[in-house]
Structure 1
Amino acid sequence: MKRKLFLATFLLSAMVAVKAQEVTYEEYDLDNGLHVILHQDNTAPVVTTSVMYHVGGKDRTEGRTGFAHFFEHLLFEGTKNIERGKWFEIVSSHGGQNNANTSQDRTYYYEVFPSNNLQLGLWMESERMLHPVIDQKGIDTQQEVVKEEKRLRYDNSPYGQLLPVLGENLFEKHPYKDPNIGYMEDLDAATLEDVIAYNKKYYVPNNAALVVAGDIDIAETKKIIEDYFGPIPRGEDVVRNYPKEDPITEEKRVKAYDANIQIPAVGIAYRTPGFKERDAYVLDMISTYLSDGKSSKLYKKMVDDQKQALQVGAFNIPQEDYSMYLVFALPVGETSLDTLISEMEEEIAKVRNELISENDYQKLQNKFENQFVNSNSSVSGIANSLARYHVLYGDTELINKEIEIYRSVTREEIKEVANRHLKSNQRVIIDYLPKDKTEN
């Protein structure tokens, strides 16, 4: 009786928490195609202004990789009405902070201000969209910035080449085969005309979503948005027609070398569906089941019990067109990479061949409930989620209903999806080795 009462109380608390978590918003389109999403939260005098452009590393032509990431930097250079190099100074001097980031699929710019600077944030983002200064001086400056970032994050960072290695071995045709940051020779070869054309094609209102979240008055905010963004001309519709990959039907094993590591690693990689597909949600659950926390299957077995691995993890790396799934481990002592592969495959095979236990399934559901409740705990996080769900998923309401997808996943479906995407003949094994072990 006590157990049933506890369970009922827990479920009621979870339902109340999820209900309280519901995010209210209003969305509409300007005449130029800019999608606007407003979320009012007057509990603190803070506002986030953000713009997500549907452009990422995959949006390029051969020989011109890395443009979206390059633009992440270039569009802070200055505008017709913001002096070169003054962007960050303006933001900080008004009590704000700002940043940007780029993936293979989108670019996101945002400012967080005291709410009395709402108008400033909207003006700055409209300036970025309408009046960016794109000239040779800015291109030369930001090329050096990007090169330095590549040296720090990829070339000189331990295991920093792993993500590019995944892309180049899981894809042969799709632009995901090339790193988001691009190849430096492509940026060096880019002309001013190339860069201007890229801006004209992708950084237009009909390829973007503007989100304003926080301590706002809805009517006042709409008026400011119309004043600043309404006059921006609509661009040409962006058409994407990227080549489809042939299925992986035979195991492939490759070697990659990293001069920054002393401990080798091994990865089992799979090409999996894009993040909008239901199977991608199930793969999220499988990766959590295998490696989230010290009680997870891979960690408990290979790190705690058998002491074969320093680290082990399963990661669903989400992308719009195809995702990448990686099971990855670092050995202890003389443990061979083949041993790690065998042990990881054993646990993956169990998911393919057996239903996970009811207890493990319930723990999994509880973790996703908690993640959902915590996912929108800040106004800036809500702004990001609203933009992402609209731009990449085409459904803003996922901010409130995505948890229902996870709730509806059954143990049987977990087994089916593992069988569909995580078979041995669908994998690429990556031996990731210290460079001094190469045979020249």
Structure 2
Amino acid sequence: MKNAIMALGSALLLSGGATAQKVAFEEYNLDNGMHVILHNDNTAPTVITSVMYHVGSKDEQPNRTGFAHFFEHLLFEGTENIKRGEWFKIVTSNGGVNNANTSDDRTYYFEVFPSNSLELGLWMESERLMHPVINQIGVDTQNEVVKEEKRLRVDNQPYGNLIAEVKKNMFTNHPYRWATIGSMEHLDASKLEEFQAFNKKFYVPNNAVLVVAGDLGDIKKTKEWIQKYFGTIPRGADIKRQTFTEDPITTPRTAEYQDPNIQIPMVIAAYRTPSMKTRDARVLDMISTYLSDGNSSKLYKKIVDDKKMALQMGAVGFNQEDYGMYILYGMPQGSNTSAQILKEADEEIVKIQTDLISEKDLTKLKNKFENQYVNANSSIEGVAENLASFYLLYGDVNLINTEIDIYRSITREEIRDVARKYLNPNQRLVLDYIPSKDKGQN
């Protein structure tokens, strides 16, 4: 009886949390094609102004990689009305913070201000879009910044090239095959006119969504400011996007990469998965959590805790607009080999493909996803980015409220069937990520 009462209490708590997290929003289009989403939340006197552009590394040319990420830096250089070097000073002097990030699919910029600086935030983002200054000094400056970032985060970081090596071997035709940070040689070879052309093509209002969230105060005034600062920006040319498809992986792929920054080898098993917009992608999220998310996951408990064959077992899920990846990794311990721990992992995958997971494990999984759902929308920053992503990449803003229902509806049978469909040895890349053999000679 006690357990039943506790279970009921947990269910009510989760249900109440999910209901409390329902995100109210209003959306509309400006005449120039920019989509606008407003979310009013006066629980704190802060506001976020954010713009997400539908441009990422997959929109680059194969001989000019790194442009999307480069612009994440370049567009803080200044505008016609914000002098070079003044952007961050304006933000901090008004009690705000700002940042940006880039993925294979999109680029995202935002400022968080006290709510009485809402108009300032809108003006700054409109300046970035309408009046950017893209000149040689800015390009040269940010080129050095990006090179230093690559040195710190990739070249000199243990296992820093792991994702890039997986992508290179998983994709043959799709632009996902190159790293988001791109090639420094490509950036060095690019002319100023190429950066200006990239901006003209992708940084247009009809390729963007503006999200304003937080303590908006007078909604009518907010809309007036949006029209004033963004409504007058000319519409850009419609973007003709290429569609890239990959043939299914039907025979095992193998690769090796030598990293001079590591001493312990790592084995990676990577599976190509479908678009994040599909139901199968959500089922794979659950499978990934079940197998390899945290110290209580099946693989960690078996291979690290019980058998002590590995120092670490885990996974990275890459959910993307066109294709995704499930990247399983392990670090063998002692005399155990990469092949041995991969064999142990395969046995656990076969169990999912053969038998239904228990009802208890399914309930535990769903509780985890309920918790993730609540946490994802627990801050204004999280809500703003989710609203932008669900509009721009999924085509349905209300998924911010309803995607959790998809996870709630996933069955044990679906988990078994999707594991059978995607997680087979003939459908994967096995990458041996090892210490450099020449390390001792350097």
Match of 2:234 in 1: 233
Give the TM-score normalised by structure 2: 0.97
Q: Does 1:13 align with 2:13?
A: yes
Once the two structures are superposed, the pairs formed by residues 258-407 of structure 1 within 5 Å of their partners are 258-407=259-408
Match of 2:55 in 1: 55
Match of 1:430 in 2: 431
Match of 1:180 in 2: 180
Q: Matched residues in 2 for 1:58 and 1:314: separation? A: 23
Q: Matched residues in 2 for 1:87 and 1:10: separation? A: 47
Match of 1:118 in 2: 118
Match of 1:89 in 2: 89
CA contact (8 A) 1:257 1:438 kept: no
CA contact (8 A) 1:327 1:344 kept: no
- CA offset digits 1:360-381 (Å, max 9, x no partner): 1111111111111221111111
Q: Partner letter of residue 291 of structure 1?
A: S
CA contact (8 A) 1:47 1:213 kept: yes
Q: Partner letter of residue 322 of structure 2?
A: D
Q: Taking every aligned residue pair, what percent have the same amino acid on both sides?
A: 61
Once the two structures are superposed, the pairs formed by residues 70-81 of structure 1 within 5 Å of their partners are 70-81=70-81
Q: Relative to structure 2, which stretch is displaced further, 374-383 or 94-103? A: 374-383
Q: Matched residues in 2 for 1:8 and 1:326: separation? A: 36
Give me the CA root mean square deviation.
1.3
Match of 1:162 in 2: 162
CA contact (8 A) 1:72 1:100 kept: yes
How far does residue 437 in structure 1 lie from its aligned partner after superposition? 6.1
How far does residue 5 in structure 1 lie from its aligned partner after superposition? 3.7
Q: Structure 1's 305 and 47: CA in aligned 2 closer, same or farther, altered over 3 A? A: same
- CA offset digits 1:377-412 (Å, max 9, x no partner): 111111111111111111100111110000111000
How far does residue 9 in structure 1 lie from its aligned partner after superposition? 3.1
CA contact (8 A) 1:103 1:180 kept: yes
- CA offset digits 1:268-287 (Å, max 9, x no partner): 01111011111110111001
How far does residue 317 in structure 1 lie from its aligned partner after superposition? 1.0
Q: Matched residues in 2 for 1:41 and 1:11: separation? A: 26
Q: Matched residues in 1 for 2:80 and 2:434: separation? A: 49
Q: Matched residues in 2 for 1:385 and 1:243: separation? A: 26
Aligned residues: 440
Q: Relative to structure 2, which stretch is displaced further, 9-18 or 51-60? A: 9-18
Question: Gaps spanning 5+ residues in structure 1: where?
Answer: none
Q: Does 1:200 align with 2:200?
A: yes
Q: Matched residues in 2 for 1:62 and 1:288: separation? A: 34
Match of 2:40 in 1: 40
- CA offset digits 1:76-99 (Å, max 9, x no partner): 000000001110011001100000
Match of 1:153 in 2: 153
Q: Partner letter of residue 355 of structure 1?
A: L
CA contact (8 A) 1:290 1:297 kept: yes
Match of 2:220 in 1: 219
Q: Matched residues in 1 for 2:182 and 2:10: separation? A: 48
How far does residue 438 in structure 1 lie from its aligned partner after superposition? 8.5
CA contact (8 A) 1:266 1:329 kept: yes
Match of 2:108 in 1: 108
CA contact (8 A) 1:175 1:242 kept: no
CA contact (8 A) 2:294 2:314 kept: no
Match of 1:27 in 2: 27
- CA offset digits 1:91-113 (Å, max 9, x no partner): 00110000000000000000000
Corresponding residue SS for 1:185? helix
- CA offset digits 1:279-327 (Å, max 9, x no partner): 1101110010012222210010011000011110122211111101111
Q: Does 1:140 align with 2:140?
A: yes
Match of 2:247 in 1: 246
Q: Matched residues in 1 for 2:286 and 2:26: separation? A: 31
- CA offset digits 1:326-357 (Å, max 9, x no partner): 11001112211111111111111111121111
Corresponding residue SS for 1:179? coil
How far does residue 201 in structure 1 lie from its aligned partner after superposition? 0.6
Q: Partner letter of residue 182 of structure 2?
A: G
- CA offset digits 1:151-199 (Å, max 9, x no partner): 1111000000001001100000000011111111110111111111100
Q: Matched residues in 1 for 2:375 and 2:60: separation? A: 36
How far does residue 139 in structure 1 lie from its aligned partner after superposition? 0.8
Question: Gaps spanning 5+ residues in structure 2: where?
Answer: none
Q: Matched residues in 2 for 1:213 and 1:20: separation? A: 17
Q: Structure 1's 385 and 120: CA in aligned 2 closer, same or farther, altered over 3 A? A: same
CA contact (8 A) 1:248 1:425 kept: yes
CA contact (8 A) 1:284 1:316 kept: yes
Q: Matched residues in 1 for 2:189 and 2:356: separation? A: 53
Corresponding residue SS for 1:42? coil
Corresponding residue SS for 1:14? helix
